[in-house]
Amino acid sequence: MEIVYVTYIRSSSYNNYDFCQQQYFINYVLGYPSGSSKKAEMGTIVHKVMECLARSKKAVQDNKKSYKDDALGRIRITKDKMLSSKYVDSLIDKSYEHYVSESSHKYAPRDYRDCVKWSHAALEFNKGQFDPRNRNVIAPEPHFDIEIREPWARYDYTMPDGSEVNGYLAIKGTIDLVTEVSEGVMEAVDWKTGRRIDWASGEEKTYEKLSVDPQLLLYYYAISKIFPDYNQAIMSIFYIRDGGPYSLCFDESDQKMFLDMLRTRFSQIKNNTKPRLISKNRSHWKCQKLCDYCKNNWEGTDKSICQYVQEKVEKKSTKNLILKKVLKELWIRSKHFVLIQKADVYFGLQELNHQNY
Ligand code: SF4
């Protein structure tokens, strides 16, 4: 019996499973959010600048006078304004103010200077090669939600109450930017402000490793389905602070490679009855440095989130574990998400039924 009713895999979750199954389980199955580090928030600030510049360029291409950003609101735009350095500065300031005002971290002037530096490093690389304003923008931040219509991707779950949930596994995510290079050729760009390291293995991500990186292949698969008029795709992953852009060409044969990888991952996740921990007592440096679940306690207890979940999983038989992916999605949709944090991992079916999802 599966303990994880996985119905979709996110671009952000794919590699997380390799890093730590327990972290994946807590984050993506139980839906217990992990806090964002200050460095990750600073990455979000830079991403927002790049996104707004791409939206500006798309608006100018489409002869629109403004665009709306979910965080910064409506922004009026003209071609001259878009090309001015004052506009870039104002986007950096607005983005910085927005995210810092919502943050629980303390920011110092040096953090602001770093955000400015990183934004300009991406924009000025090779005379503006990756500046969205110099590109023909197909889509800024396209979201995707694609069903995998393969026999192996079919799921038929019997829920603990006997109800049936079925469908096809989907992949979901967002790509930072998709641009047209020439007729029939598109390029997707993914900005990274972290290090060029595979945190699961600790190894540097070389060209060779990136050519089989599941996240990049997932992005390639997604854009090939969303923009079928383009028969060639370049995937560029831009390590703003660690080596600049790495560009790879993918073609149809890579779709098959991706589906094979996804098939294996789907099977691994749904057949996992006991998520593995990086370290049973959380003493590993990755737990201490890269994970919040050993620092913060499960609400109402004196145990860390990781320890609390570990003990529950070890104590209970798997068939009692009914808080599954599907249920989590339903809870989020029904705005009961916050209750997850207050409740036990092992909900009784009756309790769930009382939430009227
Ligand atoms: S504390 Fe360590 S073992 Fe626990 S979820 Fe985090 S990374 Fe995994």
Could you tell me which residues come within 8 angstroms of residue 326 by beta carbon, excluding any fewer than 6 positions away?
5, 7, 157, 159, 165
Identify which of 277, 288, 303, 304 to mutate to test ligand 1's pocket (most ligand atoms within 8 A of the CB): 277
- Please name the residue whose Cα sits nearest to atom 5 of ligand 1: 23
Strand order through the sheet with 232-239: 136-140, 177-182, 185-192, 232-239, 244-250
Q: 2-38: buried (b, 16+ CB within 10 Å) or exposed (e) per residue?
A: bbbbbbbbebebbbbbebbbbbbbbbbbbbbeeebee
Pocket, ligand 1, Cβ cutoff 6 A: 20, 22-23, 26, 277-279, 282, 286-287, 291, 293-294, 306
Q: How many CB atoms lie within 10 A of CB 210?
A: 18
Section 264-281 average pLDDT: 88
Question: H-helix or E-strand containing 331?
Answer: helix 325-333
32 C-alpha to center of ligand 1: Å? 13
Could you tell me which residues come within 8 angstroms of residue 139 by beta carbon, excluding any fewer than 6 positions away?
58, 175, 177, 178, 226, 227
147 C-alpha to center of ligand 1: Å? 31
278 C-alpha to center of ligand 1: Å? 6
Q: Which atom of ligand 1 is nearest to the CA of 310?
A: 4
| pTM, entire model | 0.85
Distance between CA 356 and CA 48 in Å, rounded?
37
pLDDT tens digits for range 154-210: 988 776 566 788 899 999 999 999 999 999 999 999 999 999 998 888 899 999 999
pLDDT tens digits for range 49-96: 999 999 999 999 999 999 999 999 999 999 999 999 999 999 999 999
Q: Is the pLDDT of residue 12 over 70?
A: yes
